[in-house]
Amino acid sequence: MSRQIGIFGGTFNPIHHGHLLIAEFARQQFNLDKIIFVTSGTPPHRDDDLLDQESRHKLVLAAVSTNEYFEGSDVELKRQGLSYTADTLAYFREKLGSDVKLNFMIGGDNFAQIGSWHKVDELITQCRILVAPRLEYKIEQTNPLVRKMEARDPEKFMMPADADWAIIDFPGVAISSSLIRERLGKGKSVRYMVPREVNEMLIAENYYTSKTSVQTK
């Protein structure tokens, strides 16, 4: 039987317990041997302010350090220019070998937009897509991979009907990176929203806080 490896990519701005719960539930549900958290450098679909990539990756490494099945990767941080998932999957395919089955983990909101991604036809041939629905995301009765996205040229957003995907049986939690950033910006505690190691780094480095914010420990 081939090894099952999960690839969990994201800006992780910052990483929190919701990310870790998704990964752990997916690991057990799909018998994944390992999950690699890939910190995004310059995502093509994000234009909001991000903590610098090195700091975000340090937080990821701290978060996954206590789980033997998790590890962090900075492959996208070392790549010049924009970071495309298809290129990342191709990298791991070559690195890990053809006997490994890749499982790309994605949030439900991003899944609904995946038809517009760069090299999407190549992407779906390299992996199974594991979807983590958000609290407000409802899985449609029809395959969302093949539906037309709202766009001026909807045909280019079509996904092949034979794409391999599955839903992660995950009990959604109302924790988001944006909420954490908001609380930190107001000097509020994010204890228990993030792993202890991450919380300690956020406090020590004053990440996401203004100079006048007072972090509650």
Rounded mean pLDDT of the chain? 82
pLDDT tens readout for residues 22-69: 999 999 999 999 999 999 876 655 556 789 999 999 999 999 999 999
pLDDT for the residue 117: 76
Domain map (residue ranges) of the chain: 3-174
Rounded to two decimals, the pTM is 0.83
CATH classification for the domain delimited by 3-174, as one of 3.90.1150.10, 3.30.70.100, 3.40.50.620, 3.40.920.10 = 3.40.50.620
Residue count of the chain: 217
Structure confidence at residue 112 as a pLDDT band (50, 70, 90)? low
Res 85 pLDDT > 90: no
| Residue 128: strand pairing partners | 103
First to last CA, the chain: 47
DSSP string covering 36-79: EEEE-SS-TT--S----HHHHHHHHHHHHTT-TTEEEE-TTTSS
Distance CA 128, CA 155 (A): 23
Q: Has residue 14 got a pLDDT over 80? A: yes
Strands 70-73 and 165-167: unpaired
CA nearest to 85, candidates 51, 117, 130, 129: 117
Quote the strand ranges of 88-127, DSSP E.
100-107
pLDDT of residue 3: 94
Q: Is the pLDDT of residue 156 over 60?
A: no
Contact in structure between 26 and 170 (CB atoms under 8 Å): yes
